[in-house]
Amino acid sequence: MQNGSGMPVEKRSGVPASPGRSAGPVVHMPPRVPEPATSRIEPDAVDRAASAVREAAERVEQDLARRAARATGTAADILSVTAAMAADQTLAADAAHRVRADHLTPERAVWDAAGAVATQLESLGSPMAERARDVRDVRDRIVAVLTGAPPPGVPDPGHPFVLVATDLAPADTATLDPETVLAVVTARGGPTSHTAIIARSLGIPAVVALGEAADLAPGETVLVDGTDGLVLVGPGAAELSAAGLADGDDGRHDGAGPLVRRRRSARDAFDGTATTRDGHDIDLVANVADPAEADAAANAGARGVGLFRTEFCFLGRGTEPTVAEQVEAYRAVLARFSGGRVVVRTLDAGADKPLRFLTPDHEDNPALGVRGIRTAVDHPEVLDRQLEAISRAARAESTEVWVMAPMVATADETREFVAACTAHGLTTAGVMIETPAAALQARWLLADAAFASLGTNDLTQYTMAADRDLAGVAALSTPWQPAVLDLVRVACEGGAVHGRPVGVCGEAAADPLLAPVLVGLGVTSLSMTPRALAAVAAALRQVTLDECRDLATSALDKPTARAAREVVRDFGSGGP
Ligand code: PEP
Ligand code: MG
């Protein structure tokens, strides 16, 4: 393969993580800003150094305000809050004082001043303690200006770009702006890692587990194919055209700026319902993480929520949110679905989503450690306060509220969780089935639980013993694995014993090819990123319930994930 200038086009394979294709220049995520050494300056340099602090703080504020004005949604909100923090004179004044009093370099003075402010905020407890993280972010940005280091966080080169990173922290993914980030490429992560889930929810094409991501040269044009997991370096007209990017909807290549091509997939309409060809209803609902996502879900036509990931409202916090804060966050989500149903998941803290106030600092194997419902053993009061908040929010809104616990493995955990919910007047309490133990024991768990929801991301991770964030085992991480499908079958059979609904809220639910198989296995609801609702509803309209069952039987009968997928894919072209 050669591009227009006769240079060979290099094709690299990763793991598809968020569908879509776009092309643009590579921009790397910058490394963390290092802590400056404690060094001193000469007395005659003090005045210049003190004004350098103020100028750097001003520059940071202006830069953030400019970015906030251009950004959209959550990214705009976060940038505006950080800009306001940078505009506050307290930090710069304290740093300038330290320069004068102690003759510290401006960068060290800023570091120390920010440390003092952050510690003070933390000592005040929630909600002020939460500002400490913003102070440290502003600190890093000012230090970067003073030392000439690249500013931290998602870069802002002034034009749309392909973001390349080793991996993205949850706080960074929150500032991804789909208007400027054309695609995401990471060296780490798997298809169900949180970077992948967030890219999908924002509609940003993503390829993860691309081992050589760090070698992509800054500024080089790449074509990212998030559907097939490919990255083409230096694509020519032929490759752009084959990818449907010959004249992307905001394509430009005027010689002045970098080539930027993107094609937004036309969104099919979703009317809130889904039915098989023979009229069997399937509950199709949305996964949300906060009020902004609840808005997006309602706007996409979702009439309910099958998974409200509450921990995302509080990621990065050093202290437990108060009951009042929780009530406010939960009500904002419930209010968007008046008359509908929202399934609220209690905090799934731990592993890739640590919450400093709840999860242990260090575990050798956090995915197998104290996460999800297991945190309630040492901190029953945190679960108790969360249930109290959910209960108050439910009473204040006219939304049907179901509650479920993550990472359940035993019938005892189920019984205790249901009892705790009942004590707070939460009468529809269920469990997530994310461990093989829970799937195999479903008939016991569902004797107490009112419903179950299969978290196929973790169920796949634990069934295949393949870390969902680890690139090296990403090929194993697919819910098409017949072993995973078999556990889905067993879980559904366990629910049927008691006439209890069993849904899926992992990423498997968003795969239009897999959805009919899940329905055939006995799944009663599918909860997914709002972007996938229309495509999954369309796929279900093509098949009857009996065909779904035949597809499930055929997929279960295959020895490999690939063969299972192929037998279902070939169905439409005259297969089973
Ligand atoms: C899952 O594991 O499938 C799930 C929905 O939970 P999370 O992705 O938040 O771990
Ligand atoms: Mg999970």
Tell me, in angstroms, the distance from the centre of ligand 1 to residue 267's CA. Answer: 25
> Which residues lie with the beta carbon below 6 Å from any ligand 1 atom?
307, 309, 348, 434, 455-458, 505-506
Tell me, in angstroms, the distance from the centre of ligand 2 to residue 326's CA. Answer: 21
168 with 254, same domain: the answer is yes
Residue 262 has a pLDDT of: 85
Strand ranges (DSSP E) for 35-171? 161-165
> Quick one: average pLDDT of 506-520?
95
Which residue's alpha carbon is at the smallest distance from atom 3 of ligand 1?
455
> Quick one: average pLDDT of 28-34?
91
Q: How confident is the model at residue 250 (pLDDT cuts 50, 70, 90)?
A: very low
pLDDT in tens, 332-361: 999 999 999 999 999 999 887 888 889 887
Asked if 163 and 184 touch (Cβ cutoff 8 Å), the reply is yes
Residue 468 belongs to a domain = yes
353 with 229, same domain: the answer is no
Tell me, in angstroms, the distance from the centre of ligand 1 to residue 457's CA. Answer: 5
Question: Which domain, by its residues, includes 424?
Answer: 273-544
Q: How confident is the model at residue 133 (pLDDT cuts 50, 70, 90)?
A: confident
21 with 78, same domain: the answer is no
Q: Per mean pLDDT, which of 195-209, 253-267, 424-438, 538-552 is the most reliable? A: 424-438
Residue 170 has a pLDDT of: 64
d(CA 189, CA 474): 8
Q: Which ligand is nearest to the CA of 170?
A: 1
Please tell me whether residue 427 adopts helix, strand or coil conformation.
coil
- Pick the catalytic residue: 421, 492, 505, 548? 505
Residue 566 belongs to a domain = no
Residue 200 has a pLDDT of: 82
pLDDT in tens, 443-458: 999 999 999 999 999 9
DSSP state letter for 505: -
Residue 195 has a pLDDT of: 78
CATH assignment at residue 138 = 1.10.274.10
Q: How confident is the model at residue 3 (pLDDT cuts 50, 70, 90)?
A: low
- Out of 114, 147, 180, a domain closes at 147
Residue 555 belongs to a domain = no
Can you tell me which atom of ligand 1 is nearest the CA of 309? 9
> Quick one: average pLDDT of 364-371?
92
Residue 115 belongs to a domain = yes
Q: Which ligand is nearest to the CA of 508?
A: 1
Residue 249 has a pLDDT of: 44
Can you tell me which atom of ligand 1 is nearest the CA of 192? 8
Residue 389 has a pLDDT of: 98
More confident residue, 404 or 120: 404
Q: How confident is the model at residue 264 (pLDDT cuts 50, 70, 90)?
A: low
- Pick the catalytic residue: 194, 313, 424, 492? 194
d(CA 384, CA 386): 5
Q: Which ligand is nearest to the CA of 345?
A: 1
Mutate to test the pocket of ligand 1, among 458, 518, 526 (most ligand atoms within 8 A of CB): 458
Q: How many domains does the chain have?
A: 3
- Indicate whether 561 pLDDT > 70: yes
Residue 355 belongs to a domain = yes
Can you tell me which atom of ligand 1 is nearest the CA of 505? 5
Q: How far is CA 484 from CA 32, 450, 548, 570, in A?
A: 38, 23, 17, 21
99 with 221, same domain: the answer is no
Which residue's alpha carbon is at the smallest distance from atom 4 of ligand 1?
455
More confident residue, 574 or 514: 514
Tell me, in angstroms, the distance from the centre of ligand 2 to residue 348's CA. Answer: 8
96 with 241, same domain: the answer is no
Residue 2 has a pLDDT of: 55
Residue 252 has a pLDDT of: 46
- Indicate whether 573 pLDDT > 60: no
Tell me, in angstroms, the distance from the centre of ligand 2 to residue 349's CA. Answer: 10
Can you tell me which atom of ligand 1 is nearest the CA of 351? 10
Q: How confident is the model at residue 572 (pLDDT cuts 50, 70, 90)?
A: low
Q: How far is CA 355 from CA 87, 116, 310, 382, 390, in A?
A: 29, 23, 12, 12, 19
Which residue's alpha carbon is at the smallest distance from atom 9 of ligand 1?
309
Q: How confident is the model at residue 315 (pLDDT cuts 50, 70, 90)?
A: confident
Residue 417 belongs to a domain = yes
288 with 401, same domain: the answer is yes
C-alpha torsion angle, residues 113, 115, 119, 122 (rounded to 10): 110
329 with 465, same domain: the answer is yes
- Indicate whether 8 pLDDT > 50: yes
Please list, in sequence order, all residues whose beta carbon lies within 8 angstroms of the beta carbon of residue 451, skipping any fewer than 6 positions away. 402, 404, 428, 430, 495, 500, 501, 502, 503
Which residue's alpha carbon is at the smallest distance from atom 10 of ligand 1?
458
Mutate to test the pocket of ligand 1, among 310, 457, 505 (most ligand atoms within 8 A of CB): 457
- Indicate whether 576 pLDDT > 80: no
139 with 158, same domain: the answer is no
425 dihedral zone (left: phi>0; alpha: psi -120 to 50; beta)? left
Residue 393 has a pLDDT of: 98
Q: How confident is the model at residue 267 (pLDDT cuts 50, 70, 90)?
A: low
Pick the range with the lowest mean pLDDT from 198-207, 293-302, 415-424, 533-542. 198-207
Residue 196 belongs to a domain = yes
Q: How confident is the model at residue 542 (pLDDT cuts 50, 70, 90)?
A: confident
Can you tell me which atom of ligand 1 is nearest the CA of 457? 3
- In this structure, what token pair is assigned to residue 473? 């085992």
Which residue's alpha carbon is at the smallest distance from atom 1 of ligand 1?
455
Active site (annotated) includes residue 505: yes
Asked if 34 and 170 touch (Cβ cutoff 8 Å), the reply is no
> Quick one: average pLDDT of 268-274?
86
CATH assignment at residue 21 = 3.50.30.10
137 with 256, same domain: the answer is no
Tell me, in angstroms, the distance from the centre of ligand 2 to residue 488's CA. Answer: 15
455 with 474, same domain: the answer is yes
Residue 268 has a pLDDT of: 63
Can you tell me which atom of ligand 1 is nearest the CA of 194? 8
Residue 267 belongs to a domain = no
- Out of 119, 147, 175, a domain closes at 147
Tell me, in angstroms, the distance from the centre of ligand 2 to residue 456's CA. Answer: 7
Which residues are 181's β-sheet partners? 161
Please list, in sequence order, all residues whose beta carbon lies within 8 angstroms of the beta carbon of residue 412, skipping any fewer than 6 positions away. none
Active site (annotated) includes residue 253: no
- Out of 94, 117, 147, a domain closes at 147
Mutate to test the pocket of ligand 1, among 505, 523, 528 (most ligand atoms within 8 A of CB): 505
d(CA 28, CA 219): 9
pLDDT in tens, 421-448: 999 999 999 999 999 999 999 999 999 9
- In this structure, what token pair is assigned to residue 407? 């990472």
DSSP state letter for 193: S
Q: How many C-beta neighbours within 10 Å does residue 395 have? A: 11
Q: Per mean pLDDT, which of 140-154, 512-526, 562-576 is the most reliable? A: 512-526
418 with 513, same domain: the answer is yes
CATH assignment at residue 522 = 3.20.20.60
d(CA 139, CA 135): 6
94 with 238, same domain: the answer is no
What's the whole-number average pLDDT of the chain?
90
- Indicate whether 101 pLDDT > 90: yes
Cα angle 17, 18, 21 (rounded to 5 degrees) comes to 120
Asked if 438 and 445 touch (Cβ cutoff 8 Å), the reply is yes
